[in-house]
Structure 1
Amino acid sequence: MTSSSSSSMHGTFPYATVAGVASIYLLTAILKSFLIPFYRSTDFDVHRNWLAVTYSLPVSQWYRNGPWAPSQWTLDYPPVFAYFEKVLAAVAAGVAYSTNSDNLWKMLDPLAQDAVAPQSVVVFQRLTVILSDLTLIPGVLLLCPPSGVFTPMKTLRYLGLLYMLAMPALLLIDHVHFQYNGMLLGVYFSAIGLMQRGRVLAGAVTFTLLVLSKHIFAYAAPAIGVWLLCNYCMVTRPYQPGTERTFSFRRFFGLIVVVLATTTLVLLPIIYNGELQSMLTRMFPFGRGLTHAYWAPNLWALYYGADVVVAKLKGLPGSAFTHGLVQVMDPTVLPPVRPVHALLATVVVYLPILTGIVRESGRPHGSQRSLLFWATMGTSASFLCGWHVHEKALVTVVAPLMLEIILKRDLHGSSRYVTAVASLSTLMMASLLPLLPNSLPELGLKWALMLFSWSIDYCLASMTSDGGRFHRFVVAITAAVCVTYQWVLPSVLPSMPFAPLMLMSVYCALGRMLGRRRALAVVLGASLDGAALETSKFLFQSVRRTGSNGGGDTELSAQMLRVVAESDVHQTPGSSKDTTSVGGDAEEIILKNTPYQALRLLRAFYNTDTVSRITLDVDIRVDLTRQSVRGVVQLPYGLQTEIRVLALCPDYMASEMLEAGADYAGLSEPLNKIERGWLPFDKVIALPQVIPQILGPKRLMPNARNGTVVQNLKQAVIDAKSGSQLEYRAEGEGHIRVDLGKTNMTNDQILENMRFFVKELLRNRPKEAGDNAAAVRKTGELAKLTTMLPKLMGGISSLSGGGDERARVLDLPYFKAASISCPNVPRIHIETENMMPSSSGYFR
Structure 2
Amino acid sequence: MSKASFSSDVTPPSWLIISAFATALKFLLIPAYRSTDFEVHRNWLALTGSLPISQWYTERTSQWTLDYPPFFAWFEWLLSFPARLADPAMVNVSNLEYASHATIVFQRCSVMCGDILLLVAVRFFARDMPAAKRDLLTGLVMLNPGLFIVDNIHFQYNGMLFALFIFSVTLVCEGYHVGGAAAFSALLCFKHLFAYAAPVYFVYLLRVHCRGSRAVSRFFSLGLTGIAVLALAFGPFIAMGQLSIVLERLFPFGRGLTHAYWAPNVWALYNGADKVLAMVLPKLGFAVRSSQASLTGGLVGGGGGMSVLVDITPKFTAVLTLLTQVPCYVAMWRRPTPDLFLRSLLYANLCGFMAGWHVHEKACLGFILPLALMSVERPADAGRYLFISAVGHYSLLPLLFETREYPIKILLLLLHQYGATVALLCWNSLTAGSRGDSANVSAVGLSKNPSDEQEVLKTSRGLLAFPEKVALCGLVGVEIYCLVGHHLIFQEKFPFLPLLLTSVYCAVNMIAAWSSCFWALSKP
- TM-score using structure 1 length: 0.54
User: 1:722-767 CA distances to partner (integer Å, 9 max, x unpaired)?
Assistant: xxxxxxxxxxxxxxxxxxxxxxxxxxxxxxxxxxxxxxxxxxxxxx
User: 1:61-92 CA distances to partner (integer Å, 9 max, x unpaired)?
Assistant: 1111433xx22x11100000000000010121
1:213 to 2:213 alignment:
no
- Quick one: which amino acid aligns to residue 421 of structure 1? Y
Is contact 1:129-1:179 (8 Å) kept? yes
1:255 to 2:235 alignment:
no
Give the Cα–Cα distance (whole angstroms) in 1 for the partners of residues 175 and 247 of structure 2.
33
Structure 2: stretches of 5+ with no match in the other structure: 1-10, 283-287, 429-458
Give the Cα–Cα distance (whole angstroms) in 2 for the partners of residues 54 and 313 of structure 1.
51
Is contact 1:169-1:429 (8 Å) kept? yes
Give the Cα–Cα distance (whole angstroms) in 1 for the partners of residues 17 and 236 of structure 2.
40
- Quick one: which amino acid aligns to residue 378 of structure 2? D
Give the Cα–Cα distance (whole angstroms) in 1 for the partners of residues 34 and 266 of structure 2.
29
1:32 to 26, 29, 36: 26
- Quick one: which amino acid aligns to residue 92 of structure 2? D
1:74 to 2:65 alignment:
yes
Give the Cα–Cα distance (whole angstroms) in 2 for the partners of residues 325 and 119 of structure 1.
36
User: 1:174-193 CA distances to partner (integer Å, 9 max, x unpaired)?
Assistant: 10111111111111000110
Does the residue aligned with 2:60 lie in a helix, a strand or coil?
Answer: coil
Give the Cα–Cα distance (whole angstroms) in 2 for the partners of residues 446 and 492 of structure 1.
25
State the partner residue of 2:79.
Answer: 88
1:234 to 2:211 alignment:
yes
1:448 to 2:416 alignment:
no
1:141 to 118, 123, 137: 123
Per-residue deviation, 1:165: 1.6
Q: Structure 1 or 2: larger helix share?
A: 2
Does the residue aligned with 1:452 lie in a helix, a strand or coil?
Answer: helix
Give the Cα–Cα distance (whole angstroms) in 2 for the partners of residues 433 and 20 of structure 1.
29
Does the residue aligned with 1:432 lie in a helix, a strand or coil?
Answer: helix
State the partner residue of 2:94.
Answer: 111
1:399 to 2:369 alignment:
yes
Is contact 1:430-1:482 (8 Å) kept? no
- Quick one: which amino acid aligns to residue 293 of structure 2? S
- Report 1:649-798 matches (<5 A): none
State the partner residue of 1:349.
Answer: 324
Q: Structure 1 or 2: larger strand share?
A: 1
User: 1:285-317 CA distances to partner (integer Å, 9 max, x unpaired)?
Assistant: 011000000011111111111111122221363
User: 1:106-159 CA distances to partner (integer Å, 9 max, x unpaired)?
Assistant: 11111135x451111100000000111011123212322636xxxxx1121122
Is contact 1:427-1:512 (8 Å) kept? yes
Give the Cα–Cα distance (whole angstroms) in 2 for the partners of residues 490 and 218 of structure 1.
42
1:299 to 266, 274, 288: 266
Is contact 2:397-2:409 (8 Å) kept? yes
State the partner residue of 2:461.
Answer: 466
- Quick one: which amino acid aligns to residue 169 of structure 1? G
2:256 to 289, 306, 323: 289
Per-residue deviation, 1:403: 2.4
After TM superposition, where is structure 1 displaced by more than 4 Å over at least 4 residues in a row? 17-23
Give the Cα–Cα distance (whole angstroms) in 1 for the partners of residues 354 and 156 of structure 2.
22
1:50 to 33, 40, 44: 44
1:156 to 2:113 alignment:
no
> Does 211-220 or 197-206 show the bigger shift?
197-206
1:377 to 347, 358, 371: 347
1:482 to 2:445 alignment:
no
Give the Cα–Cα distance (whole angstroms) in 1 for the partners of residues 412 and 186 of structure 2.
32
Relative to structure 1, is the Cα distance of residues 20 and 296 closer, same or farther in structure 2, using a 3 angstrom cutoff? same
Is contact 2:349-2:367 (8 Å) kept? yes
Is contact 1:32-1:171 (8 Å) kept? yes
Give the Cα–Cα distance (whole angstroms) in 1 for the partners of residues 154 and 487 of structure 2.
23
Relative to structure 1, is the Cα distance of residues 469 and 352 closer, same or farther in structure 2, using a 3 angstrom cutoff? closer
Per-residue deviation, 1:37: 0.6
Relative to structure 1, is the Cα distance of residues 44 and 389 closer, same or farther in structure 2, using a 3 angstrom cutoff? same
Q: How many residues align?
A: 471
Per-residue deviation, 1:447: 1.1
- Report 1:549-588 matches (<5 A): 567-568=523-524
- Quick one: which amino acid aligns to residue 407 of structure 2? G
- Report 1:471-510 matches (<5 A): 471-493=468-490, 494-510=492-508
Larger Rg: 1
Is contact 1:292-1:389 (8 Å) kept? yes
User: 1:584-615 CA distances to partner (integer Å, 9 max, x unpaired)?
Assistant: xxxxxxxxxxxxxxxxxxxxxxxxxxxxxxxx
Work out the percentage of aligned pairs sharing the same amino acid: 35
> Does 346-355 or 322-331 show the bigger shift?
322-331
1:180 to 2:157 alignment:
yes
Per-residue deviation, 1:419: 2.4
Per-residue deviation, 1:384: 1.0
Is contact 1:59-1:273 (8 Å) kept? no
- Quick one: which amino acid aligns to residue 345 of structure 1? L
State the partner residue of 1:769.
Answer: none
Relative to structure 1, is the Cα distance of residues 162 and 457 closer, same or farther in structure 2, using a 3 angstrom cutoff? closer
User: 1:413-472 CA distances to partner (integer Å, 9 max, x unpaired)?
Assistant: xx3x43233211110111011100141x21111111121232145333685343134343
Give the Cα–Cα distance (whole angstroms) in 2 for the partners of residues 199 and 18 of structure 1.
33
Root mean square deviation, CA, Å: 2.1
